């Protein structure tokens, strides 16, 4: 068996998000996972600086991009999957259950055009246990619902890209209170991840730097089983669900959620420009209750 992938993470300080280049050392072919599109909510301006940093790394290291992938429709940042797919000439992909999330949010936004079952917005919708290649490395798609109904994990040999399931051990686990989320499903998805070999490298989708420490995004199954603050000491399903739901009730909505999902459920593409050449986002008034918690970055 050839060695596992070379992984390079990119931490977006503003949102706490982590994007990845996953490269096959034998062929110099790679995938990009969960790239971020910059967005200034005060002005409505987007920018591609973070995504361009990833593209520059690809070019500097002589890599060929075979895939640009989402793990799920993100609620805390805009996705640059469409931008990088177009710029680098690579197909894009996400789990096929994105259709369920599109259905939920098409109603919330009253945007029927979001109900496209994903096929207009990504080149491939992955089913459970699908396999595809990054050079000579096989990738297995594992459904990992809970944080969202559409979440998937990409398992590449000894490396698993686990998005918003587990964070670093000192930060715990992802929230499960968004429309379509489910704390019980999250627990079961986490257990499947923790059943991987103990040396499996786990790459998380966010790091909010608890205690002000430096950003980190790589752990192992063994480290998570021993030290994750939400799961250690033999926490079972019922206790986890109770603790997760209690914590979620204290969390504010992510500040970018209502903007981000309108873009991310289109695969990272902005809404079509109107007659004046400008794209617009909708804000569903009074659809969600008022936020009583103090806004903070670590809205996990």
Q: Which residue has the tokens 């459904």?
A: 143
Q: Is residue 250 predicted with pLDDT exceeding 90?
A: yes
pLDDT above 60 (res 299): no
Residues 11-59 pLDDT 10s: 999 999 999 999 999 999 999 999 999 999 999 999 999 999 999 999 9
* Residue 266 in domain: no
Environment class of residue 300 by beta-carbon count within 10 Å: exposed (0-12), middle (13-18) or buried (19+)? buried
Residue 261 lies in a domain: no
Q: Is residue 295's pLDDT more than 50?
A: no
Question: Tokens at residue 135, please?
Answer: 């050079």
Q: Of the candidates 94, 249, 108, which has an alpha carbon nearest to the alpha carbon of residue 180?
A: 108
pLDDT in tens, 163-218: 999 999 999 999 999 999 999 999 999 999 999 999 999 999 999 999 999 999 99
How many Cα atoms are found within 13 Å in the side-chain-facing hemisphere of 74? 30
Residue 85, domain member (yes or no): yes
pLDDT score recorded for residue 118? 55
- H or E element: which one contains 56? helix 49-60
Q: Assign 1 a pLDDT band (cuts: 50, 70, 90).
A: very low
Query: For the sheet containing 36-40, what is the strand order?
Result: 45-47, 36-40, 78-79
Residue 62 falls within a domain, yes or no? Answer: yes
**Has residue 203 been placed in a domain?**
yes
Report the predicted TM-score, pTM, of the whole model to 2 decimal places. Answer: 0.94
pLDDT tens figures, 216-245: 999 999 999 999 999 988 899 999 999 999
Q: The domain that contains 176 carries what CATH number?
A: 3.60.15.10
Domain contains 283: no
Q: Is residue 79 part of a domain?
A: yes
Give the chain's mean pLDDT: 93
10 Å CB burial of residue 215 (0-12, 13-18, 19+) is middle
How many domains does the chain contain in total? 1
The answer as to whether 290 is a domain residue is no
Chain Cα centroid distance, residue 232 = 24
Question: pLDDT band at 117, cuts 50/70/90?
Answer: low
- What confidence category does residue 291 fall into, taking pLDDT thresholds of 50, 70 and 90? low
Residue numbers of the domain that contains 165: 6-256
What are the percentages of helix, strand and coil residues in the chain, rounded to 5?
25, 25, 50
């Amino acid at each position: 068996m050839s060695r596992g992938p070379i992984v390079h993470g990119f931490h977006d300080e503003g949102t706490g998000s982590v994007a990845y280049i996953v490269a096959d050392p034998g062929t110099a072919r790679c995938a990009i996972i969960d790239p971020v599109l910059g967005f200034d909510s005060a002005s409505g301006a987007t920018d591609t600086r973070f995504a361009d940093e990833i593209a520059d790394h690809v070019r500097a290291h002589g890599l060929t991009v075979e895939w640009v992938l989402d793990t799920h429709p993100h609620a805390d940042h805009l996705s640059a999957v469409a931008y990088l797919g177009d710029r680098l000439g690579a197909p894009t992909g996400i789990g096929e259950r994105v259709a369920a999330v599109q259905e939920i949010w098409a109603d919330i936004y009253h945007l029927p055009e979001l109900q496209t079952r994903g096929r207009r917005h990504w080149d491939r919708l992955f089913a459970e246990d699908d396999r595809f290649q990054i050079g000579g490395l096989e990738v297995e798609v594992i459904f990992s619902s809970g944080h969202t109904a559409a979440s998937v994990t990409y398992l590449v040999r000894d490396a698993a890209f686990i998005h918003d399931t587990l964070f670093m051990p000192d930060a715990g686990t992802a929230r499960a209170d968004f429309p379509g989320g489910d704390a019980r499903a999250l627990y079961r998805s986490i257990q499947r991840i923790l059943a991987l070999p103990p040396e499996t490298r786990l790459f998380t989708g966010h790091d909010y730097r608890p205690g002000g420490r430096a950003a980190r995004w790589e752990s192992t199954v063994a480290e998570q089983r021993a030290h994750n603050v939400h799961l250690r000491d033999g926490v079972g399903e019922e206790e986890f669900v109770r603790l997760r739901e209690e914590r979620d009730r204290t969390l504010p909505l992510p500040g970018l959620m209502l903007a981000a999902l309108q873009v991310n459920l289109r695969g990272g593409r902005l809404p079509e420009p109107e007659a004046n050449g400008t794209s617009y986002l909708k804000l569903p008034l009074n659809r969600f209750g008022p936020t009583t918690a103090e806004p903070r970055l670590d809205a996990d």
